[in-house]
Amino acid sequence: MEASQIRLTIPDSIDITRLMGPADSLLRRIESNTPASITVRGQSITITGDVDEANRVARAFGVLMGLVREGRLPSVQDVDSLLLGAAASGNDLDEARVLTVRGRAVGARTEGQLAYVRAMRSSTITFALGPAGTGKTYLAMAMALAALSRGSVGRIVLTRPVVEAGESLGFLPGTLDEKLDPYVRPLYDALFDLCERDRANDYIASGAIEIAPLAFMRGRTLNDAFVILDEAQNTTPDQMKMFLTRLGFRSTFVVCGDNTQRDLLGRNGIDSACSVLADVKGISFVELGRADIVRHDLVGSIVSAYEAAARRAEAK
């Protein structure tokens, strides 16, 4: 492999502390994600490695400088997105980026997440399967908001089965909306993180965004909509069939689930869909894993520990 050395000069207008991050955290993040050697001396950055890798890192530093020049404070997430985007497209972040929220790019940060974004862009129905923290619901919500803002769909429908530790809506006090709130709160969390609260509330009030339990989907045909089914591991095979057959014209369906957090016994809707629909054109299945977890670093360790405990239990 041909070796290359690239030297970048940091302009005087760039705050090096912001560029490198607190205690050089951004520099360390870049170093941990590339085999290239990076040396920083004063206003100079020297990158040594094979041609493609050196160029990839140089492009990442170039974009980070641009962010600092605009007055933004780059984050570790920006670095992850930059390195993935540069590797995936060979040029920029266009493929990995989904939308921009409050001046920050939202999009794929791992190879698995990039495959997920690609699947949602190219497939009518996408199944995203994986543990907590892999961005299943978050990226689906980002894609839905992007589609709504550019007019590709006329509405967003968010739904999930109401199954929680044997409880039911009837035993909770309050109106139906008040009963539903604890169940759909994760959907609200993703929505309000990706959209200004006032605008999100306007979308909900106008019906542009609808949040409802899965049972309310029966008998409907969802045209011109981006529909997200969350917590799909808690659907029965019949519920999954009912949901998927709600598909209308000009619509996109995304099904998110984690079989390690199921509250139903026996075969569920995800299991049946994976076996029955595996060869159907227009439907994609994306498996996300520990490497795709982008929450606090400790979340990955927790998932790994539980998986190791499950393997030990099976071996007994």
pLDDT, greater one: 238 or 294: 238
| 111-315 maps to CATH 3.40.50.300 | yes
- pLDDT category of residue 181 using cuts at 50, 70 and 90: low
Domain with CATH 3.30.1370.10 in the chain: 3-95
Q: Specify the pairing of strand 125-129 against strand 225-229.
A: unpaired
Interval 15-48: pLDDT, tens: 999 999 999 999 999 998 888 999 999 899 999 9
Predicted local confidence at residue 221, as pLDDT = 92
CB 38 within 8 A of CB 57: yes
| Average pLDDT of the segment spanning 274-284 | 93
Q: What is the length of the chain? A: 316
Question: Does the pLDDT of residue 253 top 80, yes or no?
Answer: yes
At the fourth CATH level, the homologous superfamily of domain 3-95 is: K Homology domain, type 1 (3.30.1370.10)
Nearest by Cα to 135 from 259, 306, 290: 290
pTM: 0.70
pLDDT at residue 185 tops 80: no
Least confident of 47-51, 226-230, 247-251, 263-267: 263-267
Strand pairing of 155-160 and 225-229?
parallel
- Which of 16-20, 56-60, 72-76 is least confident? 72-76
Neighbours of 83 (CB within 10 A): 21
Which range in 178-187, 205-214, 242-251, 255-264 is most confidently predicted, on average pLDDT? 242-251
What are the residue ranges of CATH 3.40.50.300 in the chain? Answer: 111-315
* CB neighbourhood size of 66 (10 A): 12
Please write the tens of the pLDDT for every residue from 117-176. 999 999 999 999 998 888 899 999 999 999 999 999 999 999 988 765 444 545 555 555
User: Cβ distance 45 to 32 under 8 Å?
Assistant: no
User: Looking at residue 104, what is its pLDDT?
Assistant: 64
Among 98-112, 153-167, 285-299, the minimum mean pLDDT is found in 98-112
| 292, pLDDT greater than 50 | yes
- How far apart, in Å, are the Cα atoms of 81 and each of 68, 97, 153, 218, 275? 16, 8, 26, 39, 33
